[in-house]
Amino acid sequence: MKVVIIKYNAGNILSVRFALKRLGIDAELTDNKDKILNADKVIFPGVGEASSAIAYLKNIGLDVLMPTLSKPFLGICLGLQLLCEYSEENDTPCLGIFNEEVHKFPPLDKVPHIGWNRIKFNQHILFKGMESSIYVYFVHSYYATIGIHTIAETDYIVPFSSALQKDNFFAVQFHPEKSGEVGEQILRNFLAL
């Protein structure tokens, strides 16, 4: 199986690569369009700022390519946010795969959201073999609203989408690569699609 991790203007990408290595997958880190097109699975992780990340994707044409992909695609953290319609972070139009918008947690409360929190979901292929109300690891100051593509939600100040799915596009706000056995199972479920 050929798995690629999209390389772009974001941090924390290598931790996903190491998590996949632990599962026996040697994923390639690339921003090469042909390699992305020829992959079996595509992972779009990241920690960073929305407008500079979108600018990088536009500069190399991945903003046009990514929405056309038909293979299993997984966004993680900033990757989820960039797949949404719009981010409040620096007033950024995003890729628009999901209709949901991204907002900053209310400023009077504790931001960023860091640490373990519960996700609630109904039966879904991404969470196969798990019971709802599992704990996963989060690090973020912005969140996706709950909408038609929400497949899991979490409460932190406000309820938000902790996972989204539309067609072949899956995305999680939490970090499966930092979420222990639960995170490994989510990555295995994605790789098995």
Average pLDDT over every residue of 64-68: 97
Q: In total, how many domains does the chain have?
A: 1
Indicate which residues carry an active-site annotation.
77, 175, 177
pLDDT at 155: 96
How crowded is residue 155: how many other Cβ atoms within 10 Å of its Cβ? 12
| Banded model confidence at residue 106, pLDDT cuts 50, 70, 90 | confident
Contact 59, 21 (CB under 8 A): no
Is the previous residue joined to 67 through a cis bond, with omega within 30 degrees of 0? no
Backbone φ and ψ for 74, nearest 5 degrees, come out as: -125, 115
Q: How many CA atoms lie within 13 A of 1 on its CB side?
A: 18
Q: Which residue has the tokens 């209709």?
A: 99
Residue 108 confidence (pLDDT) above 70:
no
Residue 156 pLDDT greater than 90, yes or no: yes
Range of the domain at 65: 3-191
CATH of the domain at 156: 3.40.50.880
Residue range 8-37, pLDDT digits in tens: 978 778 899 999 999 999 999 999 999 999
pLDDT digits (tens, 9 = 90+) for 133-142: 899 999 999 9
Is pLDDT of 45 > 80?
yes
